[in-house]
Amino acid sequence: MTLTAARPAAARTGRPAPAPRRRGRRWALYTLLTVMSLLTMGPFVAMLVVALSPRGEPTLPARWPASLTFDNIAQVLNASGFAEWTINSLVYSAVSVVIILLTASMAGYAFAKKRFPGRDAMLWTFLATMMVPFQATLIPLYVLVSDFGGADTFWGLIVPTLANSQAVFLMRQFILGLPDELFDAAKVDGASELRVYWTIVVPLTKPILATLGVFVFLWHWNDFLWPLVISQSDATRTLTVGLTVLKTEEMQWATLMSSAAVSAVPCLLVFFLLQRYLVNSIAMTGLK
Amino acid sequence: MNPVRHRLRDPITGLLFVLPMLVLFLIFKIFPTLGAAGMSLTNWNIGGEWDFIGADNYTRLVNDPNFWSSLRATLVYTAIYVPLVVLVSLGTALLLNAIVFMRGLFRGILFLPYVTSFVFAGLIWRWIYEFDGLINGLLAKLDIAPVAFMERSELVLPALALVSCWKGFGYSMLILLAGLKAIPGSYLEAARVDGASAWQRFRSITLPLLKPALFFVLVIETIASFQVFDTIYVMTGGGPAKASYTLIYGIFERGFRFWEFGYAATWGMVLFAVVLVVSLIQRRFVGRENT
């Protein structure tokens, strides 16, 4: 592919491609990229090796382990709390994905295609809240939620994280691009508003809903500060918080690395299944 | 269809569709934002009792050496992290843009850490920096004495910045790569024909055309660097000797270790002000780009 791309260019400029120099350049490019990739992957590989090393036997960084075992992983999976934390993280992420996709696409639709009093003011307020860092509102949010008995409950964990302006904006921008005629036609046919939303808006926004869903899942699965302050027992503690509790109780690196590895499995699954999707959408949507 | 009914139907359904998100926003975003400003004027504590104490928290803040050292730690961290992550993501984006064969594979590998959590990154890197960890193990093979990365004040912020860079540069890399792809190949080709060197082409074509993407990356990474918390909580606990005690760590400790909610909210207001200034600078510049 590189050759076919290079040849017409050389032909256009009317001079032969400087072949040896270009080959040297390509070597340099691939060498640099390989070095960067090794540096990026190194921590993952080292983590896996330590996680799979038999207990009490020499392992990295002194030497490669003589054999590998799944004992540590099995032990982590059976450890008290770990299964609970995993389920809590799944609930936290899955419920948030469903509700945010629903409420954000509804609000996005209204902001994009409806006229109602105060619409623009509301939109600007939503936009302005993006500039407020979550951590600056952490204290009042905690006081508010715990005053209503939300500390260490699922609703206290989940509901405050559902107000997501990025999601609303993304949906609005996408729905703005859909032709008005679609909605007018449906209205002329006498479709109810809910029907229009469910049979026109939702199907047509599927690609952007999927992208948003992936991001919301990652945000919540990897979230730390809010679960840290609001979950106080294993009943609602998520995996990220659990990992730091584990840290203080158990100092075996093999155990720590195994639990870290297990905790990252859903993210890595998302990555391997939806990589192309994720990668292409970042530049398009600016979601972070 | 009756046009009057139609006109009425639109506002009501519009409001109904916005309502769920609007309620969430009012309660969990707007109210706490105003609440933060209000709380910073009180001595609110864990019991829930409070008195209005005016600007006392702010006076205390200005006289609090912990606050100034945390502001300094945050700014030093930003000064290390932002150039580091911009250079790494720009470098890798340029490399990826220059190849065709296996580009997807390299892009995927370099992006991979982005999908993991900062807690995950913090745990792995704690072991990497450990006295008997990966780096010191490699140094030992070269007969170099071990370095206590997490115990030396001058090393802890660069070490933390490197962790965040490893975890996050893939995102900025993708933004810059998209920016590079948007530069018309004919510009670069024309410059090449005119005999411009690779550096000249980069300096006077690529860089100016990449400016909007670079600026975006600069701003989001700066804001991200003010908000660093998870890795510090996992790796250093603000230490050694408060060398990695950042603004957010201060909010967390004041609030959830000393339970001084009013004073912690005051720290939060400073964070808010700092982020606001950066966002306003961004808006100003981006506005100018567009006009």
Nearest chain B Cα distance for residue A99, angstroms: 10
Nearest to B174 among A106, A163, A283 (CB): A283
pLDDT of B131 reads 82
Superfamily of domain B65-290: MetI-like (1.10.3720.10)
Q: What is the ipTM of this complex?
A: 0.89
CA-CA distance, A279 to A228, in Å (whole number)?
29
- CA–chain centroid gap for A277, Å, is 12
CA-CA distance, B205 to B225, in Å (whole number)?
29
Q: What are the structure tokens assigned to A32, written together?
A: 């640099």
- The count of residues in chain A is 288
Contact with chain B for residue A72, Cβ under 8 A:
no
pLDDT of A207 reads 87
Nearest chain A Cα distance for residue B7, angstroms: 9
Q: What are the structure tokens assigned to B230, written together?
A: 């998870």
CA-CA distance, B146 to B132, in Å (whole number)?
8
Interface list for B 149-168 with A (CB within 8 A): 166
Percent of chain B with pLDDT over 90: 57
- DSSP code string of B80-103: HHHHHHHHHHHHHHHHHHH--TTH
pLDDT of B79 reads 95
Judge residue B135's burial from the number of C-beta atoms within 10 Å of its C-beta, 0-12 exposed, 13-18 middle, 19 or more buried.
middle
What is the pLDDT averaged over residues A6-12? 44
pLDDT of B54 reads 84
Q: Please judge whether B39 and A288 are an interchain contact, meaning their C-beta atoms are less than 8 angstroms apart.
A: no
Contact with chain B for residue A232, Cβ under 8 A:
no
Cα dist from A54 to A49, A70, A164, whole Å: 10, 8, 44
Q: Which residues of A touch B261 (CB under 8 A)?
A: 139, 142-143
pLDDT of A10 reads 42
State which fold the A75-285 domain adopts: MetI-like fold (1.10.3720)
Higher pLDDT, A60 or A268: A268
pLDDT of B146 reads 86
Label residue A9 by pLDDT band (50, 70, 90): very low
Nearest Cα neighbor of A222 from A42, A92, A84 is A92
Between helix A253-285 and helix A239-249 the angle, nearest 10°, is: 150
Q: What are the structure tokens assigned to B281, written together?
A: 């600078």
Per-domain residue ranges of chain B: 65-290
DSSP class of A115:
-
Report the C-alpha dihedral over residues B94, B95, B99, B104, rounded to 10 degrees.
Answer: -100
pLDDT tens digit sequence for A263-284: 999 999 988 888 877 877 787 7
pLDDT of A247 reads 60
Label residue B5 by pLDDT band (50, 70, 90): low
pLDDT tens digit sequence for B123-138: 999 999 988 888 888 8
**pLDDT of A149 over the 60 cut:** yes
pLDDT tens digit sequence for A232-254: 888 999 999 999 887 655 568 88
Q: Which residue of B has its CA nearest to A214?
A: B115
Nearest to A163 among B24, B95, B216 (CB): B24
Cα dist from A128 to A58, A144, B175, whole Å: 55, 21, 23
pLDDT of B6 reads 56
Per-domain residue ranges of chain A: 2-51, 75-285
pLDDT of A2 reads 39
Cα dist from A135 to B3, B248, B266, whole Å: 48, 7, 12
Label residue B290 by pLDDT band (50, 70, 90): very low
Nearest Cα neighbor of B17 from A188, A212, A137, A183 is A183
pLDDT of A280 reads 77
